[in-house]
Amino acid sequence: MPEPRTWQLTACSAVLGLALAAGAVTAAGPWDNGQRKAERARAAATTPTGGAHHAAPRPPAGPQRPAPAPSAAGVLRALGAPDTSRPSDLATTLVPLLADPGLGTLRTASVVDVATGKQLYGEGATTPMTPASTIKIATSVAVLSALGPDHRIPTTVVASPDGRTVTLVGGGDPTLDRTRLKALADGTARALKDRGVTGVRVAYDTSLYQGPARHPIGPNDNIAPVGALMLDEGRLDNSDSGPAPRTADPASDTATAFAELLGKAGTKVQGTPTPARAPRAGTDPKTTPLARTESAPLSALVERTLTHSDNDLAEALARQTALARKQPASFAGAGKAVRAELAALGLPTTGARFADGSGLSRDDRISAALLTGLLTRAADPTRPALRPVLTGLPIGGFSGTLEGRFDTAPTTNGAGLVRAKTGTLTGVNTLAGTVVTADGRLLAFAFLAGQTASPYTAQPALDRLSAALASQG
Sequence-ordered list of residues with C-beta below 8 angstroms from that of 387, at least 6 positions apart, any chain: 27, 28, 149, 299, 378, 379
Q: Say how far apart CA 280 and CA 283 lie, in whole Å.
A: 10
Catalytic option among 13, 85, 110, 133:
133
Query: Smallest Cα–Cα separation from 355: which of 455, 166, 215?
Result: 215
**Which listed residue (118, 136, 182, 421) is catalytic?**
136
Residues 406, 396 contacting (CB under 8 angstroms): yes
8 Å CB contact between 204 and 275: yes
Angle of the 311-324 helix axis to the 135-147 helix axis, nearest 10:
40
Round to whole Å and give the CA distance between 343 and 347: 5
Catalytic residue list contains 136: yes
If one counts every other C-beta atom within 10 angstroms of the C-beta of residue 194, the result is 9
Beta-carbon count within 10 A of 222 CB: 19
Q: Backbone dihedral region of 451: left (phi > 0), alpha (psi from -120 to 50 degrees) or beta?
A: left
Among the options 309, 330, 399, 466, which is catalytic?
A: 309
Three-state secondary structure call for residue 426: coil
**What is the C-alpha separation between 236 and 436, in angstroms, rounded?**
40
Q: Return the closest-CA partner of residue 24 out of 447, 395, 434.
A: 434
| Catalytic annotation present for 207 | no
CB 76 within 8 A of CB 27: no
Q: Which residues of 34-55 are buried (b: 16+ CB within 10 A; e: fewer)?
A: bbbbbbeeeeeeeeebbbbbbb
Sign of CA dihedral 251, 253, 259, 265: negative
* Residues designated catalytic: 133, 136, 309
